[in-house]
């Protein structure tokens, strides 16, 4: 369903409003020529204002009243840690990171990841993997045998503590992957607490309803004892390994009120950062960040020529309506699921890989880099077997380092405000505060006339300055230009 405002340009209407949206014409050189004149779409500020008014009203109404514990939980207002505001996230696949596949072998990469500008390390599940029903030789990380133990293949609890400690010393944060919806088939709770599980007709733990995940057992969130035990298990890792938060697997398959209550408990130990593998707005009652699948899928399709820049604008407008001003959407060109089940970004995005990675940094949200993306890994990694990533060269380390440095440097990229200036089939132009971005999705260069209100400098090379007034910018095939007002 198209949710674009009737006054906004649609793919069809673009050509019919040359006076409002500029015209697209082919120059003598044969290159596309797009003239930008006016701002057309403004995203987020109104919603942000409304959120602020609502928050003020809530504060006023809560003033001076006593609350029971239940209402305190129901009203729990999460607060996002300050260090998340300009942070990027790096997903760590310990098994495939080295031949050893251990915490200690991975830890040797921390100084290099610091050079790359990484802020948050997301460790894929570090717990022992169930043997019963195991897929492949090594099994799925997401079939957890014991929530409060370390996978012996990776090392010991002390090794994990050492890894977290080294990361903290380098100024990085560490979050753990958490699988709350289900356990492995022979999880310790299946023996001691069968009442924690949804049971099948034979009285055995059932697989999650509506799935074919036959290597896992579905937990019963109607049982308050299970809820308590799950929160205690999460707290274990903050208390014992000083971790900084969680990435929560299939978070939308667990009741949101559990997450709200869990978040309130975790924040008492330490202010945590919480990332949900989910994309429903409601999940942000408990979580700081969720997955931006909508943008991810449209980027894949634009790269494949199946979608246009207008469809990206459409998704961003939908998200403006659905999400609040401080909700963080995680942007990515790959992650462990995409890589293993939908192939690498090189298969999905072809020559657009770098362009789409740049876009994940300039759109509102938090950018993700998966293990091996900086090594330009082109293979879909095995998920249940050993399949080491080739880190012998790092052709994209500097590329990601520069993007991370840009995200750190410019406050305009630290919020959700975006103004889409113009879209054409294959040209996407937007402002993030004082930063103007032009993305050319064409397979040939485009000359684009941009009216700069003041002097601008290229974000990637500040020696490259654009004078005020109309400037013709040549944007490379599958390329981008991002300039900041001086």
Which positions lie near Ca ion, rule CB under 5 A? 181, 253
Residue among 89 and 217 whose Cβ is closer to Ca ion: 217
Distance of closest approach, residue 101 Cβ to Ca ion, in angstroms: 30
Q: State whether residue 293 is helix, strand or coil.
A: helix
Distance of closest approach, residue 40 Cβ to Ca ion, in angstroms: 42
Using an 8 Å Cβ cutoff, are 269 and 234 in contact?
no
Distance of closest approach, residue 131 Cβ to Ca ion, in angstroms: 23
Residues present in the chain in total = 486
Distance of closest approach, residue 259 Cβ to Ca ion, in angstroms: 12
Strand partners, 447: 33, 474
Using an 8 Å Cβ cutoff, are 407 and 361 in contact?
yes
How far apart are alpha carbons 198 and 338 in whole angstroms?
29
Residue among 262 and 299 whose Cβ is closer to Ca ion: 262
Distance of closest approach, residue 236 Cβ to Ca ion, in angstroms: 21
Q: Shortest CA distance to 100 belongs to which of 388, 336, 370, 380?
A: 388
Dihedral angle of Cα 8, 13, 19, 24, to the nearest 10 degrees: 120
Residue among 176 and 253 whose Cβ is closer to Ca ion: 253
Distance of closest approach, residue 180 Cβ to Ca ion, in angstroms: 8
For 444, phi then psi, to 5°, come to -135, 160
Using an 8 Å Cβ cutoff, are 49 and 42 in contact?
no
Distance of closest approach, residue 95 Cβ to Ca ion, in angstroms: 26
Maximum Cα interatomic distance, the chain, rounded to a whole number of Å: 77
Q: Shortest CA distance to 288 belongs to which of 195, 365, 368, 376?
A: 365
Q: Shortest CA distance to 263 belongs to which of 251, 278, 280?
A: 251
Residue among 119 and 249 whose Cβ is closer to Ca ion: 249
Residue among 280 and 321 whose Cβ is closer to Ca ion: 280
DSSP symbol at 412: G
Q: State whether residue 10 is helix, strand or coil.
A: coil
| Cβ contacts of 43 within 8 Å, gap of 6 or more | 316, 317, 320, 364, 416, 417, 418, 419, 420
Residue among 89 and 253 whose Cβ is closer to Ca ion: 253
Distance of closest approach, residue 254 Cβ to Ca ion, in angstroms: 5
How far apart are alpha carbons 87 and 102 in whole angstroms?
26
Q: What sections of 242-351 are H helices per DSSP?
A: 256-269, 293-303, 309-322, 336-342, 345-349
How far apart are alpha carbons 348 and 332 in whole angstroms?
13
The closest residue (CB) to Ca ion is: 253
Distance of closest approach, residue 215 Cβ to Ca ion, in angstroms: 16
Residue for token pair 């596949």: 101
For 358, phi then psi, to 5°, come to -60, -45
How far apart are alpha carbons 413 and 417 in whole angstroms?
8
Residue among 251 and 435 whose Cβ is closer to Ca ion: 251
Residue among 253 and 401 whose Cβ is closer to Ca ion: 253
Q: State whether residue 289 is helix, strand or coil.
A: strand
Distance of closest approach, residue 256 Cβ to Ca ion, in angstroms: 11
Q: Is the dihedral of CA 311, 312, 316, 317 positive or negative?
A: negative
Using an 8 Å Cβ cutoff, are 459 and 410 in contact?
yes
Residue among 88 and 181 whose Cβ is closer to Ca ion: 181
Distance of closest approach, residue 257 Cβ to Ca ion, in angstroms: 13
Residue among 258 and 391 whose Cβ is closer to Ca ion: 258
How far apart are alpha carbons 340 and 126 in whole angstroms?
19
Distance of closest approach, residue 274 Cβ to Ca ion, in angstroms: 18
Residue among 253 and 381 whose Cβ is closer to Ca ion: 253
Residue among 196 and 456 whose Cβ is closer to Ca ion: 196
């Amino acid at each position: 369903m198209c949710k674009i405002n009737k006054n906004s340009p649609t793919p069809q209407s673009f050509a019919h409003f040359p006076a409002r949206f500029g015209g697209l014409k082919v120059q003598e050189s044969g290159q596309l020529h797009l003239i930008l004149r006016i701002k057309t779409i403004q995203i987020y500020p109104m919603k942000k204002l409304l959120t602020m008014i609502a928050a003020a009203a809530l504060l006023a109404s809560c003033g001076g009243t006593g609350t029971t514990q239940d209402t305190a939980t129901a009203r729990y207002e999460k607060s996002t840690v300050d260090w998340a505001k300009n942070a990027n996230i790096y997903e760590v696949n310990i098994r495939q990171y080295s031949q050893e596949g251990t915490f200690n072998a991975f830890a040797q990469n921390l100084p290099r990841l610091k050079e790359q500008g990484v802020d948050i390390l997301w460790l894929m599940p570090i717990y022992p993997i169930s043997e019963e029903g195991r897929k492949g030789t090594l099994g799925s990380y997401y079939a957890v045998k014991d929530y409060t133990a370390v996978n012996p293949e990776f090392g010991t609890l002390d090794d994990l503590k050492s890894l977290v400690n080294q990361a903290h010393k380098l100024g990085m944060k560490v979050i753990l992957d958490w699988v709350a919806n289900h356990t492995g088939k022979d999880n310790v709770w299946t023996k001691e607490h069968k009442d924690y599980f949804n049971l099948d007709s034979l009285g055995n733990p059932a697989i999650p309803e509506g799935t074919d995940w036959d290597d896992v057992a579905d937990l019963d969130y109607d049982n308050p004892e299970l809820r308590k035990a799950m929160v205690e298990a999460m707290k274990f890792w903050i208390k014992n390994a000083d971790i900084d938060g969680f990435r929560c697997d299939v978070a939308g398959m667990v009741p949101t009120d559990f997450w709200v209550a869990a978040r309130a408990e975790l924040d008492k130990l330490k202010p945590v950062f919480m990332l949900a593998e989910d994309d429903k707005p409601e999940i942000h009652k408990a979580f700081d960040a969720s997955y931006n699948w909508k943008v991810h899928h449209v980027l894949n399709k634009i790269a494949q020529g199946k979608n246009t820049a207008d469809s990206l604008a459409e998704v961003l407008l939908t998200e403006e309506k659905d999400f609040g001003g401080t909700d963080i959407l995680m942007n990515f060109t790959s992650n462990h699921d995409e890589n293993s089940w939908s192939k690498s970004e090189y298969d999905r995005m072809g020559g657009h890989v770098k362009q789409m990675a740049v876009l994940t940094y300039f759109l509102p949200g938090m950018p993700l880099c998966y293990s091996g993306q900086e090594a330009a890994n082109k293979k879909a990694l095995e998920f249940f077997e050993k399949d080491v990533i080739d880190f012998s060269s790092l052709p994209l380390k500097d590329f990601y380092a520069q993007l991370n440095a840009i995200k750190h440097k410019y406050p305009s990229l630290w919020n959700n405000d975006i103004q889409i200036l113009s879209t054409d089939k294959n040209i996407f132009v937007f402002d993030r505060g004082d930063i103007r971005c032009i993305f050319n999705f064409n397979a040939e260069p485009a000359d684009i006339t941009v009216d700069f209100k003041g002097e601008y400098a290229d974000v990637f090379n500040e020696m490259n300055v654009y004078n005020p007034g109309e400037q013709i910018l040549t944007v490379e095939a599958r390329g981008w230009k991002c300039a900041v007002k001086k």
